Structure formats: structure tokens, C-alpha cells
Amino acid sequence: MNKKLYVGNLLYETTDEELRDIFSQAGNVVSASVIRYQDTGRSKGFGFVEMETDEASQKAIDMFNGQDNKGRKLVVAEARPPKPRNNFGGGGGGGGGYGGGRRGGFRRE
């Protein structure tokens, strides 16, 4: 089974192709992608690499975790599954602005 690796502390200029080239030193790369902001396309400074075998994944972790890449120490680890998101639409919460005391309001008598 292919194992996905998290790769952190990337330079913002790193491309998918550069990430693939780096990790191909450890074995066959199935996929490599730098994660980008949807609105600007700017790198978030991390990405994911999927290696063909578990052995290649472990070799990549051993080779690259903590290694200098153009002045930045890479963080390479087995990727964790994403946390489930609640899809309740917007934020908010609470009924702000209502309730409380009766200051300054009009009174019925």
C-alpha cells in the first residue's frame, strides 16, 4: 500500500516538480504536491508526497527528516488522516446582542 508523507517547512517557492525530484532519491514517487492557498495560489509551506512502497516511505523519512533544504530543515513524517470537519456553514455561535438587562428600553406601566 502507498504511504502518504507530510513534508513541512518547505520554501514558499518550492514546486510540485521540485518536491518530486527531491523524494525520488528515496524511491518511486506516486504523487507530490505542495499545498497552496486557494485564493492566491501561494504555497502554505508544506506538502504531501506519496511513495510507491512502505520501504521507500521509511527511507524518505530517514533521509530527509531534519535535513537542510536550501536553508530550511525539512519535517518529514507519515501523514495523518485529516480531521473531520463539521459542515454547518459559517461561524458564529451564540445569540450575541440579545438578552441581558432592561436598560434604556421603554417600559409598559
Domains and CATH numbers, the chain: 3-78 (3.30.70.330)
pLDDT per residue as tens digits for the range 6-53: 999 999 999 999 999 999 999 999 999 999 999 999 999 999 999 999
**Residue 84: which pLDDT band, with cuts at 50, 70 and 90?**
confident
Q: Output the pTM of the full model.
A: 0.75
End-to-end CA distance of the chain: 77
Residue 62 CA: distances (Å) to CA of 6, 10, 55: 13, 17, 11
Average pLDDT across the chain, whole number: 87
